[in-house]
Amino acid sequence: MTIRYGSVCSGIEAATAAWHHMGWQPAFFSEIEKFPCAVLQHHYPDVPLHGDFTTIKENEYGTIDLLVGGTPCQSFSVAGLRGGLDDDRGNLALEFCRLAQREQPRWIVWENVPGVLSSNGGRDFGSILGALEDLGYGLAYRVLDAQYFGVAQRRRRVFVVGYLGDWRPAAAVLFERHSMSGHPAPRRQARQEVAGAADVSTHACGGIGSYVEDDISSPILQSGADNGHGCEALISRQQRPDVRRLTPVECERLQGFPDNFTAIPWRKKGAEDCPDGPRYKALGNSMAVPVMRWIGERIQLVDDFISVF
């Protein structure tokens, strides 16, 4: 079954880059930053581009099967002021829930930094899950690290998957059978497809969650995106002063985008003269494409199974 989805806080659309090969159809994007908007209009001129997603009206873009978004992370970052849901940016997580209430998609996918798990003693994350549960969604969440999905950066993010009316499809997306049966995979190895050694446990809201610990010995490039300043902060593990700055193309590869995906005509300049600064910022704020591809493929598999029965 082809899935029609709406994307908010779209950035440069890692979700669409990840899901287009499955034939999924974007109903709308929503983004307020100028450069990411220009990237979206360059690559997807036929997809409606909304500004502030809190102003999207019920069925404004037709019925959707899935709502996806990674609301701003700065208010939950362990390196920031941690305003949580009291911060306007953090409150957008609850606005995401309100949009889900208006649209009633059967699937939701929400992403944020691991700091959301401990923000306000865990109460902020509990409020987000509780709001979604009140809307009838069964939930699962997991921390996934992009380095185990084929890209050379360590980028850990919380992913919440919800399914309307039942937590089991959501759990089937994020967890393999060996994890749910209490038999975690062997200790993680380089480039394994799914982060293993997850400590799986049940949580509130009728769902399942896990927390995957850092592997601090990994000698690869590390993302600094949980510092509240975007991923402009890609650095080497050794912090060596002679390590050069990454190029925009290298950052695109670290996030799983095609080369020069963010090299677009910008402010009366051609794509070949597109400045690096906006490209770094947009890439640093993006989700990792391979992780989103894995989640999307799992959703498609589960959705097809449900449609048969």
Catalytic residues: 73
Tokens 């051609």, located at residue:
270
Spatial distance between the Cα atoms of 66 and 23, rounded to a whole number of angstroms: 14
Spatial distance between the Cα atoms of 188 and 275, rounded to a whole number of angstroms: 38
Q: How many CB atoms lie under 10 A from the CB of residue 134? A: 11
- Residue 99, φ and ψ in degrees, nearest 5: -65, -40
Strand partners for 161: 109, 140
Among 290, 284, 309, residue whose Cα is nearest residue 36: 284
Spatial distance between the Cα atoms of 135 and 167, rounded to a whole number of angstroms: 13
Strand partners for 210: 142, 200
The token pair that represents 217 in the structure block: 């010995």
Residue 182, Cβ density class (10 Å: 0-12 exposed, 13-18 middle, ≥19 buried)? exposed
